[in-house]
Amino acid sequence: MLKVREIFSSIQGEGIYVGRRQIFVRFAKCNLDCDYCDTAHKREGKFCIVNGKRKILKNADDIADEIKNLYTKDIFSISLTGGEPLIYTSLIRQIHKRTDIPLYLETNSTLPEKAYEIKNLITYAACGIKINYPKFYNDSLKTIEILSGKNLFVKVVITKDVDTGQIGRLAKNIKNIADPPFVLQPQTGIKWDKIYKNNLLEMSETAGNYLSDVRVIPQLHKFLGFE
Ligand code: SF4
């Protein structure tokens, strides 16, 4: 079964590298099941969609060929996204051997041992924190520590269930480890009413008591209609 569901060239729409052109390699499967998940990652499948076309890619060589075909001079990095890319560390190693383009890891921060395994291959890292999965809280902090030298930023999707106390605690715990840019990402597709906007400002202010670079950044690619 194919471990990569999609490969395409687009604009990074999240976090501090927003607007950068990337080749996205979307891995199948995730170990979580977030309500707001918007990616077709659920299973490994027979086909990979490469810039909109169905293809059968048999191995890392085929994946590397597709990456090469999509390369343009404005490419910043290869986004390893998902699903959860850290489920596939062996394939990531094989991809790394076959390309010179820097690797950008987008992880849900729940698999620190896997992050440790491949940290030396990674140039950029985005650690998403799943605040509504408390059982992974310590793993998330460990993952941040492991990836902290990797041009890292931390991102939290702000659903209506997240409160300022949770953000304050998280920012304080992160500060004990590192001081990465901290991004509050308003959930896409919900009404950003006055209360919600005030909460965002309050969260930003609270996080700013601990961390030196706090930003509120929505998903840009959704506004632009990109993948
Ligand atoms: S961690 Fe990411 S890919 Fe996995 S279910 Fe949550 S939003 Fe979807």
DSSP letter assigned to residue 16:
G
- Name residue, tokens 């605040």: 131
Best residue among 24, 27, 34 to mutate for probing ligand 1's pocket (most ligand atoms within 8 Å of CB) is 34
Extents of the domains making up the chain: 4-224
Q: What is 4-224's CATH number, 2.60.40.10, 3.40.50.300, 3.40.50.720, 3.20.20.70?
A: 3.20.20.70
Q: What is the pLDDT of residue 135?
A: 93
In whole angstroms, give the CA distance from residue 19 to residue 186: 17
pLDDT tens for residues 29-39? Answer: 999 988 878 77
Q: What is the pLDDT of residue 173?
A: 98
* CA–centroid distance, residue 83 to ligand 1 (Å): 6
* CA–centroid distance, residue 73 to ligand 1 (Å): 30
Residues 6+ apart with CB under 8 A from 62: none
Q: What is the pLDDT of residue 1?
A: 66
pLDDT tens for residues 30-70? Answer: 999 888 787 755 667 788 999 889 999 999 999 999 999 99
Nearest CA to ligand 1 atom 8: 37
Q: Is the CB of 100 inside a 6 Å radius of any atom of ligand 1? A: no
Nearest CA to ligand 1 atom 5: 33
pLDDT tens for residues 127-180? Answer: 999 988 889 999 999 999 999 999 999 999 999 899 999 999 999 999 999 999
> Quick one: CA torsion of 44, 76, 204, 209, rounded to 10 degrees?
110
* CA–centroid distance, residue 28 to ligand 1 (Å): 11
> How distant, in Å, are the alpha carbons of 6, 18, 57 from that of 67?
11, 20, 12
Whole-model pTM: value is: 0.94
